[in-house]
Structure 1
Amino acid sequence: MAKPGKRRKFSAAEKLRIVREAAACTQRGDIDALLRREGVYSSLLAAWRKQLALHGSEALAEREPGHKPKQDAKDRRMPSSRSARRASRRSSRSLRSSSTSKKSLCHSGRQSHKRRRALTDVIEELDNPHVPIAQACAALGVSRATLYRQTRPAPAPAPPRPAPSPRRLSDPERKAVLDVLHSDEFVDQPPPEVYATLLSRGVYLASIRTMYRLLAASGESGERRAQRGPINLPERAWPRAQFAQKWAKI
């Protein structure tokens, strides 16, 4: 069984030499050949370059295992270039959002509903032409959008209007169907017979249900038989004794 190899350690002089040789490489593929010859990964070379650029050649020395050495206050205050760029972008974004925001400096979303309602009532009752609404909202920390939304009643929802059916007959077509139903030939016939007669002649105007619908819209469809209302007969009052005798006989 082969023994595991020992981890190679680089001295500060070797690290500095490899970094300088990598900096002197100008042709394509020279750095790859250098890394293969020295047995070094590109990530390790990048770490050495960073240590040399930040702390000098003393940072390349191998430190003893244990806790990290304490940094000076100056080193702790000095952020890396990436973190500094990230912090600057975050601060510029926050300043840009605060300058372009339409809301007041005190965000009204952090207030309770009762307090926000009381503040809006105060602004509504304010009757001073020299104090604009925007200044009053900024002083009390109320968003103008919230004030306008609570003071203006919501519009009533419009009643839904059904979309017209694409198969609906046009006004001239509806009039043509009614003229046929009102003609002397079909004036006394129901729509099914009119439909069958026209269909036997090769004429199609509308369906049977459409004919009934057009007649109902014109007030011409209904029960043709004589109708009478319900008969209300007076209830006969039976004495209690006679009622009992009647049931006894049964």
Structure 2
Amino acid sequence: MRVEMLSDHTAPREHWLPSTSVAARQLWARVRGARRVWRRLIDAPPARDPAPATRVGADWQEVLLAGDRAPARATGVLGEDPLTAALGVLPDDWVMLRGYRNRRGGTDHVLVGPHGIWAVEVERRRIRLHAVGDQWWWEKLDARGHSVGTGRAVDRAGRALPRRVNDIADDLAAWLRRNRHDVPVRTAVVLTHEQARLGHCQDPTVSLVGTHPHHLLDALARYAAPLAASEVADLVRRDHLFHQRRRHRH
């Protein structure tokens, strides 16, 4: 997977070291083999007997194990970004566009590949997140896992976290449709702090709420839908640049 920075609007709450460093290149090399597994999995025809299904399941487990190893190896290389490290198992026809913004706001990542497009919001706090429909709230946890505070999961304007992510994704999907790419933009909220937990979760209004990069990798396969990844990624860049220029004019 390639990583491209569109803007650094998320910079104050994350520490990112350039992937061109020697250590980072070594990290990507260690998970490169898993990309072949990903291709076997995603391109596999429907199984007609148990044996192929078993092989596909084993392939998928290999992808997940590679993703699980990547964050540990990334310590000191990718700072507090285990999600990006784990998604390194994806082949280079996937691109993570970091810091995308449109008129509805900004999200941490837009992930584009030949099998889907995702708007991904990352929470790096030690919390227990509760998600019921569009109403989300959190409990702040201490080092022992005890609740030491609560709050609503909203942005500065009071907009619920899932509403914000969906607003951004819906606006992006509308832009893609106007440019002849009628594809769904899936939405995900991933908790990446190692002590983060998911509490009461019922009918969340995003495609995925997860506490581990594995959950997003699994969702990529579950919701796979073909698209022209290069063209879609270019449209995402164009849309971001358009809104960036508008903001600078005002």
* TM-score normalised according to structure 2 size: 0.17
| Structure with greater helix percent | 1
* TM-score normalised according to structure 1 size: 0.17
Task: Select the structure of larger CA radius of gyration.
Answer: 1
| Structure with greater strand percent | 2
Q: Which has the higher contact order (CA 8 A, sep 6+)?
A: 2
